[in-house]
Amino acid sequence: MQEWANQLCENRQFGSKMTDSKYFTTTKKGEIFELKAELNSDKKEKKKEAVKKVIASMTVGKDVSALFPDVVNCMQTDNLELKKLVYLYLMNYAKSQPDMAIMAVNTFVKDCEDPNPLIRALAVRTMGCIRVDKITEYLCEPLRKCLKDEDPYVRKTAAVCVAKLHDINAQLVEDQGFLDTLKDLISDSNPMVVANAVAALSEIAESHPNSNLLDLNPQTINKLLTALNECTEWGQIFILDCLANYTPRDDRESQSICERVTPRLSHANSAVVLSAVKVLMKFMEMLPKDLDYYGTLLKKLAPPLVTLLSAEPELQYVALRNINLIVQRRPEILKHEMKVFFVKYNDPIYVKLEKLDIMIRLASQANIAQVLAELKEYATEVDVDFVRKAVRAIGRCAIKVEQSAERCVSTLLDLIQTKVNYVVQEAIVVIKDIFRKYPNKYESVIATLCENLDSLDEPEARAAMIWIVGEYAERIDNADELLESFLEGFHDESTQVQLQLLTAIVKLFLKKPTETQELVQQVLSLATQDSDNPDLRDRGYIYWRLLSTDPVAAKEVVLAEKPLISEETDLIEPTLLEELICHIGTLASVYHKPPSAFVEGSRGVQHKRLPGSAGSADSVDSPDTASAAGVSEAPPAVIPSQGDLLGDLLNLDLTPPTATGPPPAPSSGLQMGAMDLLGGGLDSLPPIPLRTDTPQSPQFYHQSPSPPDYSPTELGGDLGGSPALGAGFGAPPAAMPASFNAPVSGGLDDLFDLGGGVGMPMGSYSPPKTVWLPAMKAKGLEISGTFARRAGVIQMEMTLTNKAMSVMTDFAIQFNRNSFGLAPAGPLQILTPLSPNQSIEAALPLSTVGPVMKMEPLTNLQVAVKNNIDVFYFSCQYPISMLFVEDGKMERQVFLATWKDIPNDNESQFQIKDCHLNSDAASNKLQGSNVFTIAKRTVEGQDMLYQSMKLTNGIWVLAELRVQTGNPNYTVSLKCRAPEVSQCVFQSYEAMLKN
């Protein structure tokens, strides 16, 4: 589409004089025959007119492919405008007419040797856009000539063509040596050729992350920096993005690059500015903070960022999202620029909310008075969302700047006096946080809060008020009455309020046991006997047992001193922040998510991270010292708890945790078992390289010591080369499958001997179709279906049958939120009307990036289907095996370490009965559905298969399958950090093996 736009724009220069609009107005019948005659006319002018009409028809969506041979005949012309139009037509229709397109090859070859460089470039550009396999091999020779053309315009066009050709046929490009030619073009004398060569190589390197195409070294970097000053803005962006992937050798080189990139900060194009900021933010990491230049650079970064905020709102928003990241990493850059982020009355809401967020990040003792005055003003605005956020912001300021807490509390009390309902509710929520940060300091305001109890109708505000009453029950005379008033509608309250109410009444009972015995019995009975919410029931039973068996212990548990809440609870997790800083100026920096979270099928998404901090310039030379420095200086990794991982699966965002930084170095005795926690999801673990003496490469692999040689007796211990969690070198690991502890005859190779013959996998399992929507419930429409995974794509395969008397049309489909974010990847393609008694097959591809909500059961999918008659609803269940991804084969040592690392409580054991397959056949069958066998062992006639699978949201499931020869009953043990999925995985195992 962009190519079309470029060429159409270029055509304006050839005397069309704004009159071409007439070509878009005709809609005559029989036009194709007329055009055919005109295209074959002897008059050049008539030919050109005809081709323009053809292009106009093509642009508005008419099918003019029947004219292909006639249009191609017009290629033999010296008229540049006509040639461009024919090439435009060719790009569009070559795919549907590949045999005819071959006719054009000779003209391409000829045009690539034309004396006019514009025609040579046009030919090579069009060649790159014709995505037809049959033609590509004919185009290699012309492309090779154009890459070495004397004219830089032709060379720069040819460089981009290599990237396009690589996308069509990567092997051909490599065999023809085009990649080496591209690398040579980086040394070209023309800056635009250099920029396009860098862009092409970067594009190819993204889809082949391990190819090391862009072998950056100081000489290459110097050439890029020289070209940077002279190329167009797009060229500058390509070069800056390439520079951002380079890791300088020392702080001197880092400073030199920064000095040469800094002038780009004053560029008129905002994308160039952000790319320059990205390079500087990355290379600043290597500069010592006591260096004069470091301070100068900080000062230079502020003005361009401030300038971005004077652009139109959409650009402001992108700039603000990037500034949000920069401020979290280096708040000192903008600490004196607070006023720029004050909200203007005509800012769109999305800009206002973003500015508010940055104001709080920049709030400090020096500017807090100014910030609070602004926030108080915002709280009287008319936009409800903005007012809520402003009130929250006042609370965040109190938590962040202790000296301002008193002023913030009095501001919040003033706002409560306004009696504006949503303002009061937000104020109560933030005052609860202030109480948690500064206990026993501002309790005098509780009376004012209690006066507003009746006006609270939002769950979060009600829960906050109940927490305050329970926490300070001894200071509130009528606390029991207040809590009792909430109990009256207990079952109508949200879960959040019910849980808070239960805890508050138990606290009240422990503080005033004589007066509230009846109340506590009432709430425990409501929670345990009348509620069907498992969380509420469990908490109720725990309190009941605590109170009935050991009231002293109950007091210690329920009334324990609470940890103070941290000053910044909404900061982005450090390793993710590092990765996002490396993506400044891209979509990742706007979403605040790593590319792997939203780029579907992202083969080549590499996890980036900032280079090591400067303090140890020597450390780059020696891996040992570098890794030792890494331990102390790396930001603390956030280790997700089991609850967090489950919450991630069932509640929030289904992206795997990101891995950016290497874990602490081997010298600290890091356990391999913990590696998936610190690295952030086993899907991101690269192969573990042996220690070398070369400086760390930009791929940022986790370094690990080389594994020692194992004797048979040590195999019961740790296989990671360092002590595991709580177990020494020879000690049997606590949570390992029993069979791993059995003595083995050989070394490490024996344990993972797949010599038992794991053959070729069979196809993936797809359950038979069942009726999802019976005709009697859907006015005659019957839908039966199943789910299948084909070539890595989940498909919902349906048969729609019309059992009514009228024709059905206009089909559409929608899913409710579900546990794994399944959503249609496109519309439901039913192109013909569905007549009475007719059936039609439809395959709907699904993506896993939709909204998420925990379903019961976990694999339940609620579907709405619309047609011209009505909207119909049904629910169906998909086998969880549809979500097993193709890269679910875990490294062997990582498997061992992870099995140990997952708690025993997370292990589930199931029986599969009446299964008459041997272990090899079972392994093959399961591998067809992406259940990968990592190892196989035979102990006393029993085959044990150790298997791994990975779900689309990055959660790993490990399995041990025991197969006894002659026994049709198998045992499968499953281990997973989110044990909720184990039951579904077992059901899929059973279905796959018995299918």
Q: Report, in this order, helix, strand and coil percent for the chain, each rounded to 5.
A: 55, 10, 35
Please choose, from the candidates 394, 403, 319, 407, the residue with its C-alpha nearest in 3D space to the C-alpha of residue 360.
394
> Which has more pLDDT, 639 or 932?
932
Distance CA 450, CA 430 (A): 15
pLDDT of residue 799: 94
Residue 652, pLDDT > 80, answer: no
Residue 681, pLDDT > 60, answer: no
Q: How far is CA 818 from the centre of its chain?
A: 18
Mean pLDDT of 292-296: 86
Residue with tokens 């230049």: 293
Residue 704, pLDDT > 80, answer: no
Distance CA 150, CA 820 (A): 55
Query: pLDDT, tens digit, for every residue of 859-868?
Result: 999 999 999 9
Angle at 509 between CA 508 and CA 512, to 5 degrees: 80
Q: How many CA atoms lie within 13 A of 147 on its CB side?
A: 26
> Which has more pLDDT, 729 or 232?
232
Please choose, from the candidates 371, 314, 313, 312, the residue with its C-alpha nearest in 3D space to the C-alpha of residue 337.
371
Residue 708, pLDDT > 60, answer: no
Mean predicted lDDT score pLDDT of the chain: 78
pLDDT of residue 23: 62
Range with lowest mean pLDDT among 42-51, 204-213, 572-581, 854-863: 204-213
Distance CA 584, CA 883 (A): 32
Q: Which residues contact 585 (CB under 8 A, 6 or more apart)?
A: 237, 271, 274, 275, 277, 278, 322
Angle at 555 between CA 643 and CA 464, to 5 degrees: 55
DSSP 939-979: ETTEEEEEEEEEBTTS-EEEEEEEEETT---EEEEEEESSG
Task: Name the band, by pLDDT with cuts 50, 70 and 90, for residue 451.
Answer: confident
Please choose, from the candidates 147, 245, 149, the residue with its C-alpha nearest in 3D space to the C-alpha of residue 197.
147
> Which has more pLDDT, 786 or 183?
786
Residue 957, pLDDT > 90, answer: yes
Residue with tokens 């700039």: 319
At residue 742, the 3 state secondary structure works out as: coil
pLDDT of residue 210: 64
At residue 644, the 3 state secondary structure works out as: helix
CA–CA distance from 246 to each of 68, 214, 216, 968 (Å)?
A: 48, 9, 6, 58
Q: Length of the chain in residues, anyone? A: 995
Mean pLDDT of 833-844: 91
Range with lowest mean pLDDT among 475-479, 576-580, 879-883: 475-479
Distance CA 151, CA 130 (A): 23
Pairing outcome for strands 907-912 and 812-815: unpaired
Distance CA 778, CA 872 (A): 6
Mean pLDDT of 759-779: 80
CA–CA distance from 603 to each of 204, 764, 823, 846 (Å)?
A: 12, 22, 21, 18
Q: How many CA atoms lie within 13 A of 794 on its CB side?
A: 25
Mean pLDDT of 291-309: 88
Task: Name the band, by pLDDT with cuts 50, 70 and 90, for residue 985.
Answer: very high
CATH fold of 883-994 reads TATA-Binding Protein (3.30.310)
pLDDT of residue 737: 39
Residue 272, pLDDT > 60, answer: yes
Task: Name the band, by pLDDT with cuts 50, 70 and 90, for residue 846.
Answer: very high
Query: pLDDT, tens digit, for every residue of 91-130?
Result: 887 777 777 777 777 777 788 888 888 888 888 888 888 7
pLDDT of residue 20: 65
Give the DSSP letter of residue 618.
G
pTM score, two decimals? 0.57
Domain 770-878, second-level architecture: Sandwich (2.60)
Task: Name the band, by pLDDT with cuts 50, 70 and 90, for residue 673.
Answer: very low
Distance CA 116, CA 114 (A): 5
